[in-house]
């Protein structure tokens, strides 16, 4: 079997998925992280993030001797079991949104500085993090090693299905100005049989932004279309089904919602806008995509206000609302840039009294090590969390579904209705069946639905 010695620096969801999946493809992988306690947990097979199949894959690959964990970037590039050095080093580091939407590259720069003298001649450094165009060139400059190549190999993993996405990619993108290094990285994935785009580093870097910004645009378009549906008495589900059969459009990523969020789309849309500004290009389409998304949050608040008070300008002061879902999407416990939290903040500003339930944000009695992310004194961003959905419904004048957790469909809606003050559900994900709600005595208000005008 084809085996390379691969170091992965950073064990977030991208790094850990990359490490475990490359090991499962037969490579010898050492993952390094600066957080010693996390490394210790990973060695025991304890994975902190919610990512289906990842913990099992990590345990399996550690037992097979193909995957190990070390503290620090330097150890990751030098500590291979056979005392050899890494041939390929993946940088899977956070690139948060810095001042003015510019990606903050300090983590990447620090690791390059720390490891540049340790890399063996011929090593390929691969940037997997989403980084601004020109970062591969900048990394090469910082490395200042003519015998080390830098490759851009962006990831297209979705949180909540990262392992599946890694092992079933739509495409592999490898960008490098040195063909031999690009081919070496592409060969790591050969067993996956995916279409591979070999290009220059700048195009690969831009491709990642182009993909995420296109997806954001698709969603802003759908959310705007849902609003239009309400105004003209059309139904967004029928409209998206109809347009989705056009293969040029496709059915995926056409569900309206409270706005797109998470650690990627918001950051990447702002970062690409910065790239465009710096290149003196007025990217109006992208700006409108972001503005539409910001407006979507207020639109949800207005919808709640109207549903609860019957008036467009009605007051939400001291109105008790139960929120169902706080994470930015289902299948994850990630709260970063969650539209649910942004909407909760707007509702609180309007005077509403909130209580929230989210199945991913409930303490696990079997795993006391694991804390609920973002929780302080039983609250997330000032919103009290409860561990039972019926508690969230207790005395509520409305329930607001903000995350598309499939288990919400199976809730005992009659029991929920029984404890509510007013029988109203605002379903910002069009997740629930309106007939089921009706049978439970509840009025369901979705987005862009015929009955929701
Ligand atoms: C996104 C991209 O989908 C991945 O391809 C990319 O690799 C990743 O960013 C990244 O750059 O690392 P992710 O942030 O995990 O993945 O989340 P998505 O599944 O794309 O969802 C983004 C947002 O759009 C969420 O808030 C979600 O609820 C919303 N969404 C998604 C909708 O409102 N409707 C949809 O039909 C789909």
> CA 363 to CA 444: how far, in whole Å?
29
Which pLDDT belongs to residue 80?
86
Q: Whose C-alpha lies nearest to ligand 1, atom 3? A: 158
Which pLDDT belongs to residue 452?
43
- Where in the sequence numbering do the catalytic residues fall? 264
Domains of the chain with CATH codes: 5-199 (3.40.50.720), 215-445 (3.40.50.720)
158 lines ligand 1 (CB under 6 A): yes
221 lines ligand 1 (CB under 6 A): no
Which pLDDT belongs to residue 2?
57
**pLDDT by residue (tens digit) across 372-387?**
878 888 899 999 999 9
Q: Report phi then psi at 288, rounded to 5.
A: -65, -35
Q: Please, what sign has the CA dihedral across residues 166, 171, 176, 178?
A: positive
Q: Whose C-alpha lies nearest to ligand 1, atom 20? A: 158
Distance 369 CA to ligand 1 centre (A): 29
pTM of the model: 0.92
- Regions of the chain with pLDDT less than 70: 1-2, 101, 367-370, 451-453
Which pLDDT belongs to residue 57?
97
Ligand 1 atom nearest 338 alpha carbon: 26
Q: Which of 359, 361, 403 is nearest to 381 (CA)?
A: 361
How far is the CA of 348 from the CAs of 87, 257, 354, 426, in angstroms?
53, 20, 7, 17
Q: Both tokens of residue 30?
A: 């050492």
Q: Which of 107, 106, 105 is nearest to 134 (CA)?
A: 105
149 lines ligand 1 (CB under 6 A): no
Q: Whose C-alpha lies nearest to ligand 1, atom 6? A: 156
């Amino acid at each position: 079997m084809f085996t390379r010695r691969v170091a992965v620096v950073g064990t977030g969801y991208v790094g850990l998925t990359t490490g475990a999946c490359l090991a499962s493809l037969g490579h010898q992988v050492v993952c390094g992280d600066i957080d010693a306690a996390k490394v210790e947990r990973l060695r025991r097979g304890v994975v902190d993030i919610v990512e289906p199949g990842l913990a099992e894959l990590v345990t399996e690959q550690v037992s097979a001797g193909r995957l190990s964990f070390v503290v620090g970037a330097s150890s990751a590039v030098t500590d291979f079991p056979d005392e050899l050095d890494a041939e390929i080093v993946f940088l899977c580091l956070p690139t948060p949104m810095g001042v003015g939407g510019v990606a903050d590259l300090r983590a990447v720069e620090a690791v390059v500085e720390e490891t540049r003298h340790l890399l063996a001649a011929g090593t390929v450094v691969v940037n997997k993090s989403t980084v601004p165009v020109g970062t591969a060139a900048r990394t090469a400059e910082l490395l200042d090693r003519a015998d080390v190549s830098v490759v851009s190999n962006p990831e297209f993993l979705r949180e909540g299905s990262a392992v599946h996405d890694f092992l079933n990619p739509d495409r592999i993108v490898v960008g490098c100005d040195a063909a031999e290094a690009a081919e070496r990285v592409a060969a790591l994935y050969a067993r996956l049989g995916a279409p591979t785009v070999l290009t220059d580093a700048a195009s690969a870097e831009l491709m990642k932004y182009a993909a995420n910004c296109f997806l954001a645009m698709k969603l802003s378009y759908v959310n705007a279309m849902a609003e239009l549906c309400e105004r003209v008495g059309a139904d967004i589900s029928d409209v998206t089904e109809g347009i989705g059969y056009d293969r040029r459009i496709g059915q995926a990523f056409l569900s309206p919602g409270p706005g797109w969020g998470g650690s990627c789309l918001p950051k990447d849309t702002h970062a690409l806008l910065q790239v465009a500004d710096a290149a003196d290009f007025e990217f109006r389409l992208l700006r409108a995509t972001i503005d539409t998304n910001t407006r979507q949050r207020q639109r949800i608040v207005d919808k709640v206000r109207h549903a609860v008070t019957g008036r467009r300008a009605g007051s939400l002061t001291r109105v008790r609302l139960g929120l169902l879902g706080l994470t930015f999407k289902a299948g994850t416990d990630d709260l970063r840039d969650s539209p649910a939290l942004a909407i909760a903040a707007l509702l609180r500003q309007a005077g509403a009294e909130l209580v929230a339930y989210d199945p991913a944000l409930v303490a696990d009695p079997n795993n006391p090590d694991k804390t609920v992310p973002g929780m302080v004194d039983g609250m997330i961003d000032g919103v009290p969390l409860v561990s039972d959905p019926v508690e969230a419904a207790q005395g509520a004048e409305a329930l607001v579904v903000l995350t598309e957790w499939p288990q919400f469909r199976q809730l005992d809606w009659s029991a929920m209705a029984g404890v509510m003050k007013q029988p109203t559900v605002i379903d910002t994900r069009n997740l629930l069946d309106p007939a089921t709600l009706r049978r439970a005595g509840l009025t369901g208000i979705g987005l862009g639905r015929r009955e929701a005008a």
